[in-house]
Structure 1
């Protein structure tokens, strides 16, 4: 192990008619004032970007989804604003796999369900096809018996036991393993399709991750529906009809990144937000709000002078299709062995919800146990955000550190992360209303993933609170990340020692130290004496001494 010890040492003294002090080495970066940056990142500035994104959606079929003209125009807007501010934005092209459901229906013979699982305001259809589910035969499955495994979760062959599901539709519980494992296990048991009932009282919109030959048509339903079906099966045979036709396609899309021109690249602080919307709407809160916030932060940071640490801004593509953009980008970091350069990543996904909460990703697991491994440095990143809120007297709550947004790829690669969130389709509680106001019993964003997520869906109060935190913490980290594990101290290159002049012997620190003082202390005393005479030109540089 090598220990680096730094000390000030004299490298040259000369005679002069007056007094002059000159510092040699790296010119220190100017600190960014967090309060000043916070003042300059305004709701009006962010709103201007949101207006532009709304106009783009309006002109492009009502959305800005990945792979569409609306997304391309959104990307061009981000690039134009960044370029005007002095950045050199970079596009990162990648492919994303998407699926469309062309025909779907599920009916359980003799049982009627009236739940509105797809959220369109009308009952039915029963259940939700899982993402990347295979299709049924074109004619569908008609009057097919239902069967359950020996163990409700049906995760593997042992949980199916001696149950023969040949030619039947399996019904299994959520939990223990991935949906793809349940689908594959049911298929090996002979099932033609699988229905998975949730363990939480919400619709089950699951994903199989990708289509593989071992999977069978897979659907998610509510827990109450699952229990109703199982109760009927306990009384006798139950049959079902299932029609599921889907199409998988590959689209070309992109991310955008931009780096500040100054700042230590080994201490890169990264801010990210997904730029794409869903096909159903313009996505102004989800996630124009995060995209516009970090864009305005980038613009104002560019006017703040040199930075100590590099800041990188990222706008992700295809988040709504499965976090594809951020995953592709981090895979590139891993391949190029550049993950260590990212000290921390801050994610901003939906920060202007109309019935908002002010929440921070719970890296320290003080409220929610994380279902993922929390990388070192994430707690310190969370603390920076919560400390800001505490300092201004702003209430906040935790949101689960569960990787359900673009920070997932970062934490999977061991990169510290945290972020902010004002809520999606979760319902506001009385406790939340006591802290933040709003309407109890309504979703944080009633227009989540719908055509109503337009420019009128933004709550300026929530937006103002969140952009204050973003700007303040960005400036703090641009100045100093020493509190985050993994940060490195920017090295100062040694300065060549000039040829000593004869006067150097007069102020030799070792000779001055013979009186009993430390060499550095004696040197300081001697230098002070010569300065008092007005005849010293002192040039000092950091010299590093390595000690094994």
Structure 2
């Protein structure tokens, strides 16, 4: 058949399809999702439009969108409203979360004050505080993260000083408590103050804990003495909400869950952390639509209370019965996509970097390859980043659900080698405004955000189309088998 014949045949088929459609009450099926087209549809102007609204909300509500505040409730209303306008059935399930307030936080050394900030959910010392000797824990590759870090030290009844790094603050607190310490001080790994740090809700049951600047930490470690620490804190219970919306099309036996946390820290508006993830996921949902041509249902989730210990996502995963958890094929997480000194990072599903927590659940390696391949197609040579438990993939990984996503970096430092690949400043934080009032739209790297936001669309489109193949995840009996083995 020559080209002209093919054109005529195509036209005839199209005419027949139109005639049948005109004579039928059945609506035409939506076209199959195209991952590349969805990636291209998640445009930077629309994403920035969502960020503009989130910043407006923060400005109108005491400068933040933190859990338990009117700013957070307004953020929920904005996201839920946009999704409903697009035809989604939106749910906002509630959960309990503990709020944290500080009446007094002081550290006195030889009669002089040293700036200190209570770690969120720190137990109280009471209004009178405690006075004890200071014992620095020598810094190593796991500062204060392992019991062996305390070998040879008598820390019973002492205030111990450890350096920030590697493990969550709660782990440092737990190890110090188990060795008999009365309180914990964490020195930042840079000269500035340690801000926006949390122990998570479990930390309220152990020893008081606070953060100091790196400069003050080095000074105290060089001349340990007796210190007086006052952390007069209070924990209350509040209600918060997640936002959930799912496509009406696609198999519910292989659900693709896509999430970003919606809350900020109290210290700032949270535009990079995590307005960028919210904006990219929201725009992906709006471009995909509520009834797209997908093989697998897509569930969009906007988590509450991430900044106080991944509470919203943890509550959600815990609320699922065994069948509902098994119906989730994979989880894609997007948290901080526009850092001002940006990295191009993909969660290390196969642990090829051999750093930190190890590989993700089976299938995570394929998710990593999907994102690495997409970024390569955009001319970006991405690096891996560890599943270190600091974002909402945590409860999904713990449940054996394959996970992945992209990330532009938080308070860790960009290496000189990474600066050589991507530009920016080596030996400087990816986001110097992390957990601060300066986390604003003016400090977003829009070029990095544009690439990351399109990657969100590509990942969602890829797995909405199929969860099998060389970069797929376990399905059917294999899924049940590998998760039970985990």
For normalisation by structure 2, the TM-score amounts to: 0.80
Q: Which residue of 2 aligns with 1:171?
A: 160
Q: CA deviation at 1:427?
A: 3.0
Moved more, 449-458 or 439-448: 439-448
* Equivalent in the alignment of 1:125: 115
- Which of these residues, 391, 396, 399, is aligned with residue 377 of structure 2? 391
Conservation of the 8 A alpha-carbon contact between 1:179 and 1:206: no
Are residues 68 and 430 of structure 1, via their aligned partners in 2, closer, same or farther at CA, if it must alter by over 3 Å? same
User: Is 1:485 the equivalent of 2:473?
Assistant: yes
Q: CA deviation at 1:89?
A: 0.8
Q: Secondary structure at the match of 1:472?
A: helix
For 1:21-420, list aligned pairs within 5 A: 30-109=31-110, 124-126=114-116, 128-142=117-131, 144-146=132-134, 165=156, 168-171=157-160, 178-187=171-180, 193-196=182-185, 205=197, 207=199, 209-210=201-202, 215-220=206-211, 232=223, 238-302=225-289, 305-333=292-320, 335=321, 337-371=323-357, 374-420=360-406
Secondary structure in structure 2 of the residue aligned to 1:338: helix
For the Cα contact (< 8 Å) 2:364–2:473, is it kept in 1? no
Distance verdict in 2 for CA 1:292–1:247, change over 3 Å: same
1:182, CA displacement in angstroms?
A: 3.2
CA apart distance, 1:476:
1.5
Partner residue, 2:480: none
Deviations 1:180-208 (A, max 9, x none): 43343355xxx6x2235669668775626
Moved more, 263-272 or 197-206: 197-206
Specify the SS of the correspondent of 2:390. Answer: coil
Structure 1 gap ranges (5+): 1-26, 114-123, 490-548
Change beyond 3 A, Cα 1:40–1:323: same
SS in 2 for 1:210: helix
Deviation by residue 1:125-165 (Cα, 9 ceiling, x = unmatched)? 15x433322222422234x344689xx969779x7999694
1:53-87 Cα distance to aligned partner (Å, 9 max, x none): 12222222221111111111111111111111111
- Which position in structure 2 is the counterpart of 1:502? none
Pair 1:227–1:42, CA change in 2 (3 A) = closer
> In 2, Cα distance between the equivalents of 1:408 and 1:313?
17
| Alignment partners' CA distance in 2, 1:474 and 1:301 | 9
Q: Please say if residues 161 and 221 of structure 2, whose CA atoms lie closer than 8 Å, have aligned partners that are also in contact.
A: no
> What residue is the counterpart of 2:22 in the other structure?
none
CA distance in 1: counterparts of 2:187 and 2:62, whole angstroms: 35
**2: CA distance, partners of 1:428 / 1:232:** 31
Q: Is the 8 A contact 1:32 1:304 kept in 2?
A: no
Counterpart secondary structure, 1:337:
helix
Higher relative CO (CA 8 A, sep ≥ 6), structure 1 or 2?
Answer: 1
From the superposition, tell whether residues 413 and 163 of structure 1 become closer, same or farther in structure 2 (CA, over 3 Å).
same
Cα contact 1:29–1:308 (8 A) shared by 2: no
Shift of 1:363: 1.3
Partners of 2:88 and 2:290 within 8 A in 1: no
Q: Aligned partners of 2:420, 2:174: CA distance in 1, in Å? A: 42
Deviation track 1:281-314 (CA, whole Å, cap 9, x = no partner) reads 2211111111111111111111773211111100
The equivalent residue for 1:21 is none
Q: Is the 8 A contact 2:198 2:308 kept in 1?
A: no
Q: Distance in 2 between matches of 1:132 and 1:360?
A: 30
In 2: Cα distance, 1:35 partner to 1:82 partner: 22
Deviation (angstroms), 1:229: 5.2
Using the TM superposition, give the Cα deviation of residue 391 of structure 1 relative to its aligned residue in structure 2, in angstroms: 2.4
Compared with structure 1, are the counterparts of its residues 153 and 307 closer, same or farther at alpha carbon in structure 2 (3 Å cutoff)?
closer
* Alpha-carbon displacement from aligned partner over 1:496-530 (angstroms, at most 9, x marks no partner): xxxxxxxxxxxxxxxxxxxxxxxxxxxxxxxxxxx
- SS at structure 1 position matched to 2:346: strand
Deviations 1:467-498 (A, max 9, x none): 22111221111111113232249xxxxxxxxx
> Relative to structure 1, is the Cα distance of residues 224 and 445 closer, same or farther in structure 2, using a 3 angstrom cutoff?
closer
Distance 1:425 1:232, change over 3 A: closer
- Rounded Cα–Cα distance in structure 2 between residues aligned with 1:391 and 1:154: 39
CA distance in 2, matches of 1:156, 1:426: 24
Secondary structure of the structure 1 residue equivalent to 2:93: strand
Q: String of CA shifts for 1:76-112, please: whole Å, max 9, x gaps.
A: 11111111111101111001112222211223338x8
Whether the 8 Å CA contact 2:187–2:212 is kept in 1: the answer is: yes
Check conservation: 1:266, 1:342, Cα contact below 8 A: yes
Residues 348 and 359 in structure 2, CA contact (< 8 A), matched pair in contact too: no
* Mapped contact 2:339–2:430 kept (Cα < 8 A): yes
**TM-score scaled by structure 1?**
0.72
Higher percent of residues as helix? 2
Aligned length: 437
Larger radius of gyration between Structure 1 and Structure 2:
1
- For residue 225 of structure 1, report the CA deviation from its aligned partner: 6.4
